[in-house]
Amino acid sequence: MIAMAETAGNKELLAHAKDVKAKGGKYCDCSACTPAAAILKMKDVILNNSKAGKIIAGLQIIVTQLSQQADGHVIQSRIFAAQGLSKLAAQYEEHAAEERGYVVRCIDRIIDLGGEVKLENKTCAPIFKDAVEYLKHDLQVSKDGLKWLAELVKCAQADLTTFGILSDYYKDEEGDMYWAEQQLGLIELIGKQNWFAKQI
């Protein structure tokens, strides 16, 4: 404010700017500057209500929740490996690697869009020793996540780069959901013990 007045060479404006600053003001209170100051004060609200703000917020949710999900898949992979279910362990290890790849892509996109990436707290998630119970749990997580993700994909349609990232992620999650459904159907058909034998 003061620098602008000095540049303009306006002594009255400079005196007023110094007076506003001395009284603790951050912005000039003239008729031209007051509306701009109001917009600046509301910038977070405006950004969050805009499509770009919603997309950045959605990408941040993916970064936080998907990194947690990847950690969970790594833990479950090691539990299943210890039980001798090596094929199932490899499947979830692959899930985790894919998820971390999407986390990186979402982080990069937040930065590209001018957003601020956050390292947020993650909620505690259950760990399973029973592989079948975990399949059921993981299937429900995929179903719930895809409903939310579909809305974010729609929101990002005009942003082709983000749309591409989210579409790829959606297809991958949908594939994981179908795989879990297929495995649970197979367990119903051949029985739990026979299915375990196929995972060794």
- What lies within 8 Å, CB to CB, of 88 at 6+ separation is 80, 131, 199
pLDDT at 40 over 60: no
* pLDDT band per the 50, 70, 90 thresholds, residue 199: very high
* pLDDT band per the 50, 70, 90 thresholds, residue 84: very high
Identify the pLDDT of residue 23.
Answer: 78
Cα atoms found within 13 Å of the Cα of residue 164, Cβ hemisphere only: 4
Distance of alpha carbon 200 from alpha carbon 194, whole angstroms: 10
Q: pLDDT tens for residues 91-134?
A: 999 999 999 999 999 999 999 999 999 999 988 999 999 999 99
pLDDT at 190 over 60: yes
Residue 94 tokens, joined = 């692959």
Identify the pLDDT of residue 173.
Answer: 96
The stretches of 113-159 forming alpha helices (DSSP H) are 131-155
Identify the pLDDT of residue 13.
Answer: 63
Residue 76: count of CB within 10 angstroms of its CB: 24
pLDDT at 27 over 90: no
- What lies within 8 Å, CB to CB, of 46 at 6+ separation is 39, 53
How much is the pTM?
A: 0.74
Q: Any idea which of 26-35, 75-84, 111-120, 162-171 has the lowest mean pLDDT? A: 26-35
Give the closest residue to 73 by CA, choosing from 186, 194, 182, 173: 173
> Which residue type, as a one-letter code, is found at position 49?
N
- Residue 131, Cα to own-chain centre: how many angstroms? 27
Q: pLDDT tens for residues 159-184?
A: 999 999 999 999 999 999 999 999 99
Residues 106 and 59 sit within 8 Å (Cβ to Cβ): yes
Share of the chain above pLDDT 70, in %: 81
Residue 17: count of CB within 10 angstroms of its CB: 23
* pLDDT band per the 50, 70, 90 thresholds, residue 46: very low
Distance of alpha carbon 166 from alpha carbon 155, whole angstroms: 10
Residue 157 DSSP one-character state: T
Share of the chain above pLDDT 90, in %: 72
